[in-house]
């Protein structure tokens, strides 16, 4: 076997071996990068290790002669069947990989960036909802539109404002229980059911809001802001990953950073959201 391996190496130039190894390493790295954080990551690692070992044994031993001819025949047929099985088993992961590939800058169509109005409205509403421990789920679109989801929600098509968001998520409001979709500077739909990410994909025991935020952010490039109804904690989901417990002082800058928008610092005329559980309409009362 050692002699066969030596002959196999001698048939290639060292530069060709380095190039091939670099290409293989890049492909393996990209596969693991796409599968990171999914249940398929552990499975694919085991499959890769098994294939590498079997391939080395079959090719090295087979190069000495037709000793393992039958095994080599079965091995080749097994590879074809395995390719089909992997496509079926890892269909969700492959779909996510294609979505992420479409999110790269070279494939974007250059839509207008989010305006400061969206940043201000979302951050002010989130601060109010967080201080009063009102649950919220706000998805801000970027390049990929959520048309399929917004169609099954309640259509609003209203100019975004902090008070409108607060009213939507006010307890016992007919629209407060699910999510809101923001497109450009408008709220296009409310009471939208977002797809839940699979169990085990997020560390800990996230609630339904966090699972829905991770699920919709995994299938698009939107930024999702979550307010916990139990604790008032603020989180942001992007590309299937959730950043928990964001400080109220940092939420405005964090949303702007995620949306790649440069905004001016607040002026002295800005009003701090109230700390009491008053309705949005009571803010104008002196």
- 10-residue mean pLDDT series, the chain (286 residues): 58 71 81 61 70 74 58 75 76 64 51 72 96 95 83 90 95 90 93 86 80 89 93 92 92 89 46 46 43
- Report CA torsion sign: 169, 170, 173, 177: positive
In degrees, rounded to 5, the angle at the alpha carbon of residue 129 between the alpha carbons of residues 202 and 252 is 75
Contacts of 172 (CB under 8 A, 6+ apart): none
Strands 223-227 and 179-183: unpaired
Calpha distance 42→52 (Å, rounded): 16
pTM: 0.61
For residue 263, the model assigns a pLDDT of: 47
For residue 198, the model assigns a pLDDT of: 78
For residue 93, the model assigns a pLDDT of: 63
Nearest to 138 by CA among 233, 224, 77: 224
For residue 274, the model assigns a pLDDT of: 44
N-term to C-term CA, the chain: 89
Count of CB atoms within 10 A of residue 46's CB? 9
Calpha distance 28→51 (Å, rounded): 13
Count of CB atoms within 10 A of residue 84's CB? 9
Calpha distance 235→247 (Å, rounded): 9
Beta strands in 111-217 (DSSP E): 136-140, 154-159, 179-183, 186-192
């Amino acid at each position: 076997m050692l002699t066969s391996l030596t002959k196999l190496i001698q048939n290639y130039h060292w530069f060709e071996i380095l190039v091939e190894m670099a290409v293989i390493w890049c492909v393996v790295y990209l596969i693991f990068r796409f599968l990171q954080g999914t249940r398929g990551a552990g499975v694919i690692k085991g499959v890769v290790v098994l294939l590498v070992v079997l391939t080395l044994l079959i090719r090295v031993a087979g190069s000495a002669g037709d000793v393992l001819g039958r095994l080599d025949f079965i091995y080749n047929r097994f590879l074809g069947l395995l390719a089909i099985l992997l496509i079926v088993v890892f269909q969700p992961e492959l779909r996510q990989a294609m979505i992420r590939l479409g999110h790269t800058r070279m494939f974007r169509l250059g839509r207008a960036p989010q305006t400061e109005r969206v940043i201000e409205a979302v951050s002010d509403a989130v601060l109010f909802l967080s201080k009063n421990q009102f649950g919220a789920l706000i998805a801000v679109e970027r390049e990929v539109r959520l048309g399929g989801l917004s169609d099954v929600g309640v259509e609003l098509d209203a100019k975004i404002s902090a008070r409108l968001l607060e009213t939507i998520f006010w307890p016992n409001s007919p629209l407060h229980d699910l999510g809101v979709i923001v497109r450009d500077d408008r709220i296009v739909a409310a009471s939208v059911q977002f797809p839940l990410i699979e169990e085990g994909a997020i560390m800990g025991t996230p609630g339904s809001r966090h699972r829905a935020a991770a699920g919709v952010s995994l299938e698009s490039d939107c930024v999702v802001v979550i307010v916990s109804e139990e604790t008032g904690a603020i989180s942001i989901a992007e590309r299937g990953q959730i950043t928990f417990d964001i400080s109220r002082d940092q939420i405005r800058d964090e949303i702007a950073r995620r949306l790649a928008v440069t905004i001016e610092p607040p002026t002295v005329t800005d009003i701090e959201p109230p700390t009491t559980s008053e309705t949005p309409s009571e803010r104008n009362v002196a």
